[in-house]
C-alpha cells in the first residue's frame, strides 16, 4: 500500500462518486497495523477496492491498497511508513471513502446499504392495497440483520405525490423496518423502490 497524493475535498482529481464506507478505529498490533471499522456488516467495498481515500477535516489522502483483510467485524490493513503503534494511532478518526464504481459486484439478492438509501418503501394498507410508506433515509445493523430507517409519508398509491407524515410535535415520523425476507418482497434499484409487506400504520 502506498500513499499517492494529498488534496482537499474540492480537488478536481477526486472521484465524483466517493462514498464514505468506514473509519480508522484503532491501531492493530504493535507493527503499525490499523483497524478499519466498516459502516455496515458488508466489508466488500473495502476489500475489493484498489484505492481508498482517507479524509480528516479538509485533508484527503489517496491510498493505493495492496493488502486488506477481514478480521472479525473489522478490516485490518497496513499503511506505508507506518511501522509502530504510535504512528498507527495518528490515523485514528480518519474516514475511509471508496468510489462507488469500484465496489465489487454482489451475489443475487445482496445489496450495498448506500444503494438502499433514497429508495421508496411500499407496503400494504388495511385493504391490502399497495401504498408508499416513505423513503429510506439510513440503514443500520442490529447485529443480526440490516434495519431500514424510513422517513414516513402519508400513505398514497405509488406514483402519486407524497406528504411527510408528522408526529404530535410536527416532526416527520420514522419507522424501522427489518431488511429480511419476512417483510421485504423485492428491491428494484433502477426504480429506487423496495416492496414490502410492512403494514400501513406500523
| CA–CA distance, 30 with 13 (Å, rounded to integer) | 34
- Specify the 3-state DSSP secondary structure of 49: coil
Joined grid coordinates for residue 153: 409519508
> How does pLDDT run across 155-194, given as a tens digit for each residue?
999 999 999 999 999 999 999 999 999 999 999 999 999 9
Joined grid coordinates for residue 103: 465496489
For residue 6, the model assigns a pLDDT of 30
Which strand (E) or helix (H) includes residue 47? helix 44-47
**Which residues does the chain have with pLDDT short of 50?**
1-10, 12
Delineate the domains of the chain, giving CATH numbers in brackets.
2-102 (2.40.30.60), 113-199 (2.30.30.240)
Amino acid at each position: 500500500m502506498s500513499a499517492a497524493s494529498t488534496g482537499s475535498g474540492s480537488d478536481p482529481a477526486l472521484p465524483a462518486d466517493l462514498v464514505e464506507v468506514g473509519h480508522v478505529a484503532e491501531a492493530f498490533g504493535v507493527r503499525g497495523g490499523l483497524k478499519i471499522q466498516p459502516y455496515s456488516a458488508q466489508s466488500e467495498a473495502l476489500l475489493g477496492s484498489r484505492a481508498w481515500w482517507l479524509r480528516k477535516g479538509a485533508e484527503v489522502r489517496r491510498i493505493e491498497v495492496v493488502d486488506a483483510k477481514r478480521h472479525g467485524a473489522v478490516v485490518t490493513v497496513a499503511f506505508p511508513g507506518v511501522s509502530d503503534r504510535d504512528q498507527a494511532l495518528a490515523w485514528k478518526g480518519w474516514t475511509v471513502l471508496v468510489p462507488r464504481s469500484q465496489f465489487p459486484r454482489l451475489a443475487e439478492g445482496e445489496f450495498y446499504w448506500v444503494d438502499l438509501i433514497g429508495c421508496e418503501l411500499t407496503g400494504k394498507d388495511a385493504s391490502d392495497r399497495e401504498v408508499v410508506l416513505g423513503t429510506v433515509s439510513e440503514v443500520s445493523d442490529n447485529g443480526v440483520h440490516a434495519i431500514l430507517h424510513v422517513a414516513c409519508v402519508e400513505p398514497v398509491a405509488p406514483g402519486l405525490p407524497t406528504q411527510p407524515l408528522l408526529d404530535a410535535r410536527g416532526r416527520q415520523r420514522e419507522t424501522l423496518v427489518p431488511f429480511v425476507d419476512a417483510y421485504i418482497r423485492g428491491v428494484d434499484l433502477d426504480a429506487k423502490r423496495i416492496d414490502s409487506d410492512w403494514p400501513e400504520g406500523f
